[in-house]
Structure 1
Amino acid sequence: MAADLFGPAHGPAGVEPLSAGTFLLHGFAEAQAPALLEALGHILAQSPLRHLITPGGQRMSVAMSNCGPLGWVSDRSGYRYQASDPETGQPWPPMPDVLRDLARSAATLAGFPDFAPDACLINRYAPGTRLSLHQDRDERDLSAPIVSVSLGLPAVFLFGGLTRSDPVRQLTLYHGDVLVWGGPDRLRFHGVKPLAEGIHSLLGAQRINLTFRRAA
């Protein structure tokens, strides 16, 4: 299994340190998944998922939306955070407590106390969709960690180094897993391999990823 590349788990039960600033919390969000999905239903009714356009004019295969004071968007003018949904002209839906509390609890368990996310990017992966290697560097506050929650079908997460040419490790993320990275790892390149076909008992043929950041 890909997770074996990182060796045995250490620390609190279910918390696996992968490097100096990266921690995998096995199944941390699984019990809360129904509540998270209910909250997501309300968010997406206000700001539906959509396929953004890159600055180069390419259509992203992953469908996206946001909640919280700021939302990440992309179009021909560039990548950025903004307070309003460009499709509706309205503020992004508020971040529900169940999402914010989960992100803060995960960050604290990984050694990043006082995490206060102001942006939650919602990504939906269908089989065959992928996310190319990239850095999360559009945020003003790079001292805060990134908290990534996986729901639905398993995905192979690609975790590289601080340059695009560094070796890339592979890690299979399962339903309910939470990955937290920050500190010396905050600007590591990362991505997702094409999602394999499958059916999840709760979400069907898809994966939902929630990425919490401190953007401002």
Structure 2
Amino acid sequence: MPMAPAMAQTAPDTMAARVEACTPCHGNRGEGTSDVYFPRLAGKPSGYLYNQLLAFRSGRRKYPPMNYLLEFLPNAYLQEMADYFADQRPAQPDPAPITVSDDILQRGEALATGGDSAAQVPACASCHGAELTGMEPGIPGLLGLRPNYVSAQLGAWRYGTRTATSPDCMQPVAAKLTEADVTAVAAYLATLPAPENAAPLPKGSYALPFPCGSAPN
């Protein structure tokens, strides 16, 4: 007796299924993976994530796998992807173990919370919020990121290999950081525990210290 043909299986028509290509690098819900150079996406402002997807698609941000995956996706679909990851709320990772000296951590804390007026470097908190959770629609939180990733991105800003919509507010700030400053900030941020509510603040919760093309008023 011939066997009945197998039932065709159809993938679920959900955004979670559609973004499975993202999960090997960024985690099932954007929570990140063990790779220290791939960032957590979950809970970041949708506008920020959308801006980054546009930048990868256009080649302004250069990473071949991302450039290839996004090359032919339309704006509306990129916005859906951004909205999906922005809505995810997996648990924040535990703080990274401390691998630098107290002096380096203290320098990182000083830059993150107070900046360096002599070097004309504003505090990270002045743009990313007092608890560094970011602000809608385009300022990302800085928690849950590994020091290697933060160092790599600050280095990219410093040398102009990562740029943003004009006026590019990060590049001139990062350009004033020394290599030691980058190490210190990255190490300090990675040691911070997440606050009880790590969601980005609503738009207009605080004023930015200067115009920023990624976060228009």
Shared fold per TM-score greater than 0.5: no
Q: TM-score, normalised by structure 1?
A: 0.26
- Give the number of the structure whose alpha-carbon radius of gyration is greater: 2
Structure with a larger share of its residues in helix: 2
